[in-house]
Chain A
Amino acid sequence: EAQVTQNPRYLITVTGKKLTVTCSQNMNHEYMSWYRQDPGLGLRQIYYSMNVEVTDKGDVPEGYKVSRKEKRNFPLILESPSPNQTSLYFCASSYDREKTQYFGPGTRLLVL
């Protein structure tokens, strides 16, 4: 089944404790992206990647890092999480030419 998977789905952590949210897609998509969803703000892009080893900042990259060492994986790294990073996070992927992005199920993060 074609899909985007994220792990973990739910995470509670404390300020300053490094964490990684994994994202994987099995559709051989070139383009991958991370978003955060906050009430009243919709989805905002954090980082995106056009292909392996090619990443760029989105609208709200502060406090986040990403890497794209393999085509299928695009982990989101929070080196020192803070409470304002409490949010719902979505990973997405697409064939660049199709433009349609397919989303993972989301990761709900709470930073205490």
Chain B
Amino acid sequence: AQSVAQPEDQVKVAEGNPLTVKCTYSVSGNPYLFWYVQYPNRGLQFLLKYITGDNLVKGSYGFEAEFNKSQTSFHLKKPSALVSDSALYFCAVRDPGFQKLVFGTGTRLLVSP
């Protein structure tokens, strides 16, 4: 069965510092991996995805994520955090053999001025 783990409920960083939001996954085949962001009172917005190819994926708003097959991880990163990055971040995985997208429980990112 597919599963996703986001081990941190909350991540705090200061503005200008690099940030990492962690995600590990479990699927039976080659995974499709996604990051979504949710701002207060808004729906989920797509940030980036990994389907195949280069392990470093670049997405919206300066975010990137690195696919690591041996560690089954897909951590979200940004070199320099902004206060406006404060939001709830969800990692999701899809097994290509299934039509279901499985989400992690979310990580709240707080960026202080």
Chain A residues close to B by CB (< 8 Å): 4, 31, 33, 35, 40-45, 48, 50, 56, 58-59, 90, 92, 96, 99-106
Contact = CB atoms under 8 A, between A and B. Distances in A.
Contacts of A44: 103
Contacts of A102: 46
A103 B45 contact: yes
A23 B6 CA distance: 29
B9 to A, nearest CB: 8
Contact of A106 (B43, B51, B100): B43
Q: Describe B's contact surface by its main secondary structure.
A: strand
Q: Give the size range of B's interface with the partner.
A: 20 to 34
B21 to A, nearest CB: 14
Contacts of B90: 42-43
A90 B105 contact: no
A103 B32 contact: no
B43 A104 contact: yes
B49 A58 contact: no
A43 B51 CA distance: 21
